């Protein structure tokens, strides 16, 4: 009997805690001075609504429209997401309170995309970020480096014009159509590769000045990472669910990062 009593007592205690949380949670949330928002579930918040209403940013806009508010508070797991649609409120966040809200969040997508926060763009604010910023300001974003890259940028601009001309020439039957998105992506990719790798192509490129398969794969992998970076993954709000990868964000980010590093 004693062996059965202990597990039963633990089960009853857990149930009492859960019931207390369920009944006390609404009162606790009402006492907090937060912007208006949808009512969520204990622990998980509005994650279920987020998963059922894709894309997430449109669902957030619809919630704010229904509530007729320019600022809202949407709880996702243990994180309060505060969207704003007013320019005045945006300036309050981005200008007046910049020191409070300037840091990047610590989340799965940022960690995987930067291989453990090895890049300044995604590293949360701290001593490491300040050191990275000094290096960038003095060696990468300095006027001297900008002037040094002038000829390389002009060369890539000439190559872009040649590529667009050849695309128009080779597609006269289709009306001389040019995919501007691809042209712009490859121009930016060429300039960045010249800066980082001191070369425009990983392979041989194409005769018309366009990218080769290696460059296309590299740019596609980078844009895959950008698409899922801070992309409302469940694991960003409930970290212990990362191992299950319900929304496949982790697998997609790891594949994109692997492909971008394989080529470079």
pLDDT tens readout for residues 160-206: 888 888 888 877 666 668 888 888 888 888 888 888 888 888 877 77
Task: Give pTM, 2 decimals.
Answer: 0.76
- Please tell me the predicted confidence (pLDDT) of residue 46: 92
pLDDT at 74 over 90: yes
Burial class (CB within 10 angstroms; exposed 0-12, middle 13-18, buried 19+) of 77: buried
Residue, of 219 and 3, whose pLDDT is higher: 219
Mean pLDDT of the chain: 84
What is the b/e burial string over 19-50, where b = at least 16 CB atoms within 10 angstroms of the residue's CB? eeeeeeeeeeeeeeeebebbebeeebbbbebb
pLDDT bin (cut points 50, 70, 90) of residue 72 is very high
Tens of pLDDT, residue by residue over 135-151, are: 888 888 888 888 888 88
pLDDT at 5 (0 to 100): 66
**In this predicted structure, which of 38-52, 58-72, 74-88, 172-186 has the lowest mean pLDDT?**
172-186
pLDDT band at residue 1 using 50, 70 and 90 as cut-offs: very low
């Amino acid at each position: 009997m004693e062996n059965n009593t202990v597990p039963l007592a633990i089960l009853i205690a857990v149930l009492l805690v859960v019931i207390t949380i369920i009944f006390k949670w609404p009162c606790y949330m009402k006492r907090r001075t937060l912007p208006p928002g949808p009512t969520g579930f204990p622990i998980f918040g509005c994650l279920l609504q987020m998963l059922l209403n894709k894309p997430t940013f449109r669902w957030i806009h619809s919630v704010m429209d229904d509530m007729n508010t320019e600022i809202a508070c949407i709880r996702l797991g243990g994180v309060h997401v505060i969207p704003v649609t007013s320019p005045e409120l945006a300036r309050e966040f981005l200008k007046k309170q910049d020191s409070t809200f300037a840091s990047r969040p610590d989340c799965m997508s940022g960690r995987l995309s930067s291989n453990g926060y090895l890049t300044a763009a995604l590293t949360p604010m701290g001593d490491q970020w300040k050191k990275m910023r000094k290096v960038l300001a003095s060696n990468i974003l300095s006027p001297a480096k900008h002037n040094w890259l002038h000829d390389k940028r002009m060369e890539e601009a000439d190559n872009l014009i040649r590529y667009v001309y050849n695309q128009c020439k080779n597609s006269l039957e289709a009306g001389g159509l040019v995919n501007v998105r691809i042209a712009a992506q490859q121009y930016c990719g060429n300039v960045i590769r010249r800066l980082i790798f001191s070369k425009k192509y990983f392979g041989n490129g194409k005769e018309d000045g366009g990218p080769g398969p290696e460059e296309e794969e590299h740019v596609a992998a980078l844009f895959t990472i950008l698409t899922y970076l801070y992309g409302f993954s469940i694991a960003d709000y409930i970290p212990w669910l990362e191992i299950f990868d319900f929304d496949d964000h982790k697998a997609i980010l790891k594949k994109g990062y692997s492909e971008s590093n394989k080529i470079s």
